[in-house]
Structure 1
């Protein structure tokens, strides 16, 4: 029996994102979400989510590239610009060499603590906006340490674990124009950080095929029809509403929502006897 986590990233980004994730859970196949805990719509959204969707898994979407930090700005000056905002993803390669490891640890720790304060429990798992916590060596080091300190929290699978080609593809997507040589040098550094860090768990295979331009119902059904049975799969998605003025990708987010809530998606879940789960079900897995 294939096991599938359907995780909606970016909860807390906007009311439209929150609404899309809620609808995808109530009317579709979404089982899990991860919250950008530093953003304005996180607190109110989490309160509603826990009240209206108690069975959904809620993880932390570690955010180092959008909005302002949770930790005091004076404590994390290497992570922010003069206005107090995180450096945007397109500028990361220019500034991340100056990131301070202690400041990264403090900010990620502060995000976990805010999550616990708002929800009353630990996140079901840790993942990261633009995967930055798994693509930057110092951020990865801090993330692994904090996952261990909080009881070996499950982590989203990172491409450096098993696929150089996948990591190159991811990096080129997030950082257009990045040289292949830079990525090739980064891979062993990330692997060394992981090898020398505390024991960690990435229990689910990470499926990114339902993203970017590939967000039709057909794209989703192809994935559902070919899930492996030997290991759980996490399907990345970003449902939202088409009228979300705060999200420049609102139209695409609505298309994802439409696919996730389409009756045929549920029919394939039943036909292939797919078990819909969240990271909470894998908390003790490798």
Structure 2
């Protein structure tokens, strides 16, 4: 079995970033996507420079923090302070419920302008191209189209494509403690987040998981800091995702089952060889 372990939101806050660095250096994490638009991005980029062989991608973020493009170029995406409009606001707009409405909320030209600016900032800060491209949080059809354009222009893998091909841990049966999922509901429920148990769930279903050739396990590992509570409803559970990718039990699972840990560099190679369509 080949296992890709993806951790999203690198560079979101200092706590999240330190937690992901811990997962890189001491866990089984194989790739992570950076928020190039956040104020701490230059600081987070220094950890990337110190790890030239690790697969750092980019998570295109249209719902948190400042924009990279000039606010006047993307008026539908930012508020009066030039900050990207939160996902918790977007999903409660009636227009979010249909494709035409989502295109109105996220006009393609503005979306492409902002994510291209985020891409350029990643390259400027890190001195290299990202290993893959990914969308963050809610993703409108216009965003998928814009990411696809950059993926084609830069010859880079799009995480969405691998998720369609591989078996993902998101496909496992939903359990009681996952029914109030902050990444979907955008509602903060401390008790629900504390109950989250990605490590236990993975090990409960390990026999099924081992039946697949390519598997993707994704999450949001990180330490929890005060800045996180101001930016997102998905906060406390990040420490549980960090436990999953750093646990001795997961390291033992990989070792005992001869699991091959892969990243998006490996995915790109397999795509070129026709092994992944």
- TM-score, length basis structure 1: 0.75
- Equivalence for 1:278: 263
Residues in 2 aligned to 1:98 and 1:217: alpha-carbon distance in whole angstroms: 37
Deviation at 1:4, TM superposition (A): 1.1
The structural deviation recorded for 1:255 is 2.5
Which residue in 2 is equivalent to 1:247?
A: 228
Using the alignment, how far apart are the partners of 1:160 and 1:55 within structure 2?
A: 26
Where 1:69 maps in the other structure, the secondary structure is coil
CA distance in 2, matches of 1:87, 1:121: 29
* Conserved? CA contact 1:3–1:233, under 8 Å: yes
Aligned: 1:34 with 2:38:
no
TM-score, normalised relative to structure 2? 0.77
How many angstroms does 1:33 deviate by? 0.5
Question: 1:116 and 2:120 equivalent?
Answer: no
1:156 and 2:160 are equivalent in the alignment: yes
* 5+ residue gaps, structure 2: 96-101, 175-179, 187-192, 272-276
SS of the residue 2:209 aligns to: coil
Match for 2:219 among 212, 225, 237? 237
**Contact 1:58/1:124 (8 A) holds in 2:** yes
Q: Where do 5+ consecutive residues of structure 1 fail to align? A: 178-210
Quote the offset at 1:250 in angstroms. 4.8
Distance 1:231 1:144, change over 3 A: farther
Distance 1:19 1:77 in 2: 33
Which deviations, in whole Å up to 9, do the C-alpha atoms of 1:120-167 show, x marking residues without a partner? 2221111121141xxx121111111111111143333488899xx97x
Q: Note if contact 2:6-2:217 (Cα within 8 Å) is conserved in structure 1.
A: yes
How far off its partner does 1:176 sit? 4.5
Match of 1:141 among 145, 155, 159: 145
> In 2, distance between residues paired with 1:275 and 1:160?
20
Matched, 1:91 2:89: yes
Distance in 1 separating the partners of 2:138 and 2:216: 14
Task: Compute the displacement of 1:239 (Å).
Answer: 1.4
Q: How many residues align?
A: 243
In the TM superposition, 1:50-129 aligns within 5 A as 50-51=49-50, 53-93=51-91, 94=93, 96=102, 97-129=104-136
**Cα RMSD over matched residues?**
3.1
Matched residue, 2:199: 217
Distance 1:224 1:126, change over 3 A: farther
